[in-house]
Amino acid sequence: MANVERSEHLLEWLAEKFAASHTSTDVQADQISPEQLRYFALKEQTHVVRELVASVKQQLKEGRHRAVRPEIGLPVRDVSHQEMAMLQWSYTNPSRRRFMREIQAAEDINDYVRESAAIASTPFNEFQRLVVTLRRQTGWLWEMWRARAKPERVVLVLRDSQAERSRNGTIQLCDRYARLFEAELSFEQKSIKFSEPGLSALYLAGPFIWPLAKLEEGVHLMRSQQGILTVFHVSVLPIEDGEDTEATLQRHVRRRDGWLDGLATGTASIAENPWPCGRLVRISARETRDLRSGLAAGQIPSAREWVDFLFAGFAPPASLEDME
């Protein structure tokens, strides 16, 4: 089975890397180094993947499975990439819909979420869910390895298109992120007080926070029960060594203000935007649809569903060549 083989190849490859590393495993109270934290986190994740591999192989041996399609990656409602691509195209192609008007219509957003959910198939059985979990956890292990040198302290910045009305939207979304990253994923978090209208920020820290936080970067569309469509922009800023969170945020705000001044005087271009909008990540109306994975949830996803959204963004390396 391809998913099992990929996981086993990665485990073997990482075992060689661990054997060749010179990380000290001697730990004294309150003296564990960042390198040791990363090492032990990686070792713990390899154990998780190894246990999942054993469970999948055991069920295969016992015949407690049925044929599944090669593409396993969507846990709740399985939508083919072709169907999702066609549906997304129909809502972004100007020849099919009046783009500048329709994309901002709240009912059109509801149509998108409803139609994309309607083409979904039945939920996975127990074995399929186990294989999906193996794929995700193997993908996360691979991302952890690749993120060893990435920042371990970041600022998650949320901007609201309705900034002139209220900051409530970004504050509420920031609170959800705080619960997600602390309660569900065990990262350190702290809300950052900032007076910029329509802007909220969250400090996040811990080994391998970078790839997880970056998955949320982009545009999030949300429609309230009153029919108001709000566009949230999420950006992830690395905190440099020796710099505090407030200084990081102030530095990036000053950089963006300078870019806006440059646009006004003609000395800067749109392409130089330090906080670009990025991709469309998620749409929330009567349901929430994650566009990276095709997963659907309720209007306000539970913490567990949000974790599914995140980990569905990871995939194991396709071949040994990709690991080099």
Locate tokens 């209220």: which residue? 166
- Please give the Cα distance from 259 to 261 (Å, whole number): 5
Residue 147 CA from chain centroid, whole number:
14
pLDDT along the chain (324 residues), means of 10: 88 90 71 85 94 92 62 44 51 43 50 52 71 92 93 91 63 88 93 78 94 93 79 91 84 89 91 86 88 84 88 82 66
In a domain, 176, yes or no: yes
Residues 159 and 270 in one domain: yes
Q: Three-class SS of residue 270? A: helix
pTM over 0.85: no
Domain tally, the chain:
3
Residues 182 and 142 in one domain: no
CA angle, 305 then 308 then 309, to 5°: 90
The rounded percent of the chain whose pLDDT value lies above 70 is: 76
Q: Three-class SS of residue 144? A: helix
3-state secondary structure 164-208: CCCCHHHHHHHHHHHHHHHHHCCCEEEEECCCCCCEEEEEEECCC
- Please give the Cα distance from 78 to 70 (Å, whole number): 12
Question: Tens digit of pLDDT for each residue in 98-130?
Answer: 344 444 455 555 555 555 555 444 456 788 889
Residues 214 and 87 in one domain: no
Residues 114 and 136 in one domain: no
Q: Which domain holds residue 234?
A: 153-285
In a domain, 290, yes or no: no
Torsion angle of the four alpha carbons 4, 294, 300, 212, in this order, in degrees rounded to the nearest 10: 50
